[in-house]
Amino acid sequence: MLREKKEQIVNKLAENLSRSTMVVITNYQGATAKQMNDLRKTLADTGVEYHVVKNTLLRFALEKTGKAEVSSLIDGPIALAFGYDDILAPVKALNQHIKSAALSVTLRGGMLGERVLAASEIMDLANLPPREVLIAKLIGQMQAPMLNLNNILSAPLQRLLLVLHSRIQEIST
């Protein structure tokens, strides 16, 4: 490859790394070209870019962006999934496609902002419920103390009401 072409690739990788909110590093060995194209298409539909990169060029891009600590995950043939908006989009889309297509692609790790994530942490993110479910659970947890307080405060009044009703029943019979 010509030096200028390599510099362009490094600059593009550095731009993608600095713009992305989530980067997932995968090992694509064993996947066919058709499977990789299907994976790219599926990821592109969710707004995720998926690129096979040369390790040395990626190391240069990581140094250029100040994210050299990710270099520990770079070994052998790798591909990167760049997510720009939703943090979980690349992880969930990759995990879902790998499972549904039975690909031999494996997750190596990733980067969330400035934090390096291990493969197990990436899988934990992939198994998170959707955002709406998490919000509903949070709201439920926030409402629980108020509901408990309401039940505690209204219980004596309900018991008094039951006693009065039973007394009325006794008197009327």
| Burial of 53 per CB tally in 10 Å (0-12, 13-18, 19+) | buried
Q: pLDDT category, 136, cuts 50, 70, 90?
A: very high
Instruction: Say which range, 44-48, 75-79, 86-90, has the weakest mean pLDDT.
Output: 86-90
Residue 1 has what pLDDT?
63
- Provide the percentage of residues in the chain whose pLDDT is more than 70: 99
For the chain, the C-alpha Rg in angstroms (whole number) is: 27
- For residue 8, pLDDT over 80 is answered with yes
| Residues paired with 118 in a beta bridge | 109
Residue 19 has what pLDDT?
86
- Provide the percentage of residues in the chain whose pLDDT is more than 90: 2
Q: Phi first, then psi: what are they for 28, rounded to 5°? A: -105, 10
Nearest CA among 69, 72, 35 for reference residue 52: 35
What pTM was computed for the model?
A: 0.69
Q: Which two tokens stand for residue 7?
A: 């510099």
Long-range Cβ contacts of 164-170 (<8 Å, 24+ apart): none
Determine the residue type at 130.
P
More confident residue, 102 or 62: 62
